[in-house]
């Protein structure tokens, strides 16, 4: 028997309670029954985003929400600033270039966290900047950016919006959209929201909706004004992801039962335990800035075949970790503690790493990682 464990930062495991809800017969989406579920889910999303504004649901991946954020608020030729500190910072840059933006980039070493002072300096020198784009958690490097501090800088500027990819930070780190002054926040279903891929979420501030009035890029499926009109009536402009939205309602109930503060605490403690474990095993953490509580990245020994190791663990052991992307391919491993993940998932992840790396001939103190994780987790279990 090969039992499988998802320990990569997306897709993440789906709770049994949610799977059972999604296994029910599909219902027609233009009914009072579905509209009731939709409305309840929409209200629950506001709590996760910490906003009073509508959080729109789009059938698509998180990248659909990223694209929607740009094409609904900006115009070709608009000057935008992108924080490029990893693979997904590059995605903001590539989408913006696709639609003809005047893209300026703060390029950072992978693993670092953004410096708010650099953003502020750029905006002082370029007051005509229309948008600043960043990740909350840069999944490729497992680093977290100082969103609150950057939002404070941009919130004073009436002609600049702050767009945050929260795909692996919303539901992991506290994200106060309204209070901090985030203008657009996006996320996806398959991360902290513990669902299959296929649903994207986006919320806009009043300032961002004003930008929509002047945006001229042609759009049809991702027209957020059209979606807002429909979703205010507890439906969608086009066929929604009915099954995933039914599951979303259950997920949001679970998060409310746990309490959002406890959700954030759980991610932090499992993140702390994982980071302590890999360091106790003698490995160097990837992030040199603030580490994300969504996943932990660490460097493998020089010359080690990381891709071969990850494939072996996935296919022969049943544990899926994530490797590196671009220049980090084969050089790092990323271990998730995201979404439906508890203390004993962390122990499985670390003990699996120890046994697998030992099998591949890596020398370290066997059991040191598990012990370090247990020292942190022992006071957390049963609370």
- Tell whether 278 is covered by a domain: yes
Together in a domain, 132 and 220: yes
68 falls within a domain: yes
Same domain, yes or no: 56 and 167: yes
- According to the model, what pLDDT value does residue 304 have? 94
- The overall average pLDDT reported for the chain is 97
Last residue of a domain, one of 241, 257, 273: 257
Domain check: are 66 and 164 in the same one?
Answer: yes
**CA dist., res. 183 & res. 280, Å (int):** 40
Query: pLDDT by residue (tens digit) across 222-254?
Result: 999 999 999 999 999 999 999 999 999 999 999
pLDDT at 382: 77
Q: What does the pLDDT read at residue 293?
A: 98
**Is residue 383 assigned to a domain?**
no
Domain enclosing residue 98, as ranges: 16-257
53 assigned to some structural domain:
yes
Boundary of a domain, candidates 231, 257, 283: 257
pLDDT at res. 381 = 84
Burial of 368 (0-12, 13-18, 19+ CB in 10 A): middle
Digit-coded pLDDT (tens) for 86-132: 999 999 999 999 999 999 999 999 999 999 999 999 999 999 999 99
What HEC string does the chain produce?
A: CCCCEECCCCCCCCCHHHHHHHCCCCCCCCCHHHHHHHHHHHHHHHHHHCCCCCEEEEECCHHHHHHHHHHCCCCCCCEEEEEECCHHHHHHHHHHHHCCCEEEEEECCCCCCCCHHHHHHHHHHCCCCCEEEEECEECCCCEECCHHHHHHHHCCCCCCEEEEECCCCECCECCCHHHHCCCEEEEECCCCCCCCCCEEEEEECHHHHHHHCCCCCCCCCCCHHHHHHHHCCCCCCCCCCHHHHHHHHHHHHHHHHHCHHHHHHHHHHHHHHHHHHHHHCCCCECCCCEECCCEEEEECCCCCCHHHHHHHHHHHHCEECECCCHHHCCCEEEEECCCCCCHHHHHHHHHHHHHHHHHCCCCCCCCHHHHHHHHHHCCCCCC
- Could you say which of 214, 240, 257 is where a domain stops? 257
Whether 30 and 83 share a structural domain: yes
Same domain, 242 and 370: no
For the chain, the domain total comes to 2
Distances (CA, A) of 146 to 14, 88, 295: 29, 16, 17
**20 and 141 housed in the same domain:** yes
> pTM of the full predicted structure?
0.97
For residue 382, is it within any domain?
no
Residue 24 above 80 pLDDT? Answer: yes
Residues 205 and 64 in one domain: yes
Name the token pair of 226: 């059209």
């Amino acid at each position: 028997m090969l039992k499988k464990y998802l320990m990569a930062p997306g897709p993440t495991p789906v709770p049994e309670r949610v799977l059972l809800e999604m296994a029910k017969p599909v219902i027609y989406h233009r009914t009072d029954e579905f509209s009731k579920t939709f409305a309840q889910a929409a209200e629950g999303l506001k709590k996760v985003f910490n906003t009073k504004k509508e959080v729109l649901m789009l059938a698509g991946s998180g990248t659909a929400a990223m694209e929607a954020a740009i094409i609904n608020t900006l115009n070709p030729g608009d000057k935008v600033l992108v924080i490029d500190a990893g693979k997904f910072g590059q995605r903001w840059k590539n989408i913006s270039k696709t639609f003809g933006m005047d893209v300026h980039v703060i390029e950072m070493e992978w693993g670092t966290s953004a410096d708010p002072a650099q953003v502020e300096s750029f905006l002082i020198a370029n007051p005509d900047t229309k948008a600043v784009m960043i990740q909350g958690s840069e999944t490729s490097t497992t680093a977290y950016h100082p969103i609150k501090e950057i939002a404070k800088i941009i919130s004073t500027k009436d002609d600049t919006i702050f767009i945050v990819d929260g795909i692996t930070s919303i539901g992991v780190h506290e994200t106060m959209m309204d209070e901090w002054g985030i203008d657009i926040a996006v996320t996806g279903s398959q991360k902290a929201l513990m669902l299959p891929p296929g649903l994207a979420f986006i919320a806009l501030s009043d300032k961002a909706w004003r930008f929509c009035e002047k945006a001229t890029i042609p759009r049809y499926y991702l027209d957020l004004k059209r979606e807002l009109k429909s979703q205010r009536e507890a439906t969608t402009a086009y066929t929604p992801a009915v099954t995933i939205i039914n599951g979303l309602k259950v997920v949001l109930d679970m998060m409310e039962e746990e309490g959002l503060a406890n959700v954030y605490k759980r991610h932090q403690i499992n993140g702390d335990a994982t980071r302590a474990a890999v360091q106790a095993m003698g490995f160097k953490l990837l992030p040199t800035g603030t580490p994300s509580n969504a996943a932990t990245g660490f460097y493998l020994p020089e010359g080690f075949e990381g891709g071969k190791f990850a494939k072996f663990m996935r296919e022969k052991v049943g544990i899926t970790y994530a490797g590196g992307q671009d220049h980090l391919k084969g050089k790092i491993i990323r271990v998730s503690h995201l979404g439906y993940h508890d203390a004993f998932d962390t122990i499985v992840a670390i003990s699996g790493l120890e046994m697998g790396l030992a099998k591949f001939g890596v020398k370290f103190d066997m059991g040191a990682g598990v012990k370090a994780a247990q020292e942190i987790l022992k006071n957390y279990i049963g609370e």
